[in-house]
Amino acid sequence: MTKKTIMLVCSAGMSTSLLVTKMQKAAEERGMEADIFAVSASDADNNLEAKDVNVLLLGPQVRFMKAQFEQKLAPKGIPFDVINMSDYGMMNGEKVLDQAIALMGN
């Protein structure tokens, strides 16, 4: 499997950084090469331009921006969804990684 780039978007990029760490650990345990990172909603556009993002996950606290991201991502063909609130709250890196993998279709 080629290296996958998973971008998480939240309001400030802070709380999500712990989730990123847990997702990276889960990816390593599976032998999956992944670039997983979190950005604030205001930095999302810059990162979408700079990186070849395979999937984008919105933190539950910015789910109100879903329609906005849908317009940005549809032309690029980047799948995205809102992170399950309970998985986010429990900082369940494995389940959120599973969600990203399912969205990518592999």
Tokens of 92: 């369940």
DSSP label at 61? G
The whole-angstrom distance between residue 27's C-alpha and the CA centroid of its chain comes to 13
What separation in angstroms does the CA of 41 have from each of 60, 66, 98? 12, 11, 22
> Tokens 């329609």 identify what position?
67
Catalytic residue set: 10
Helix (H/G/I), strand (E/B), else coil: 57: strand
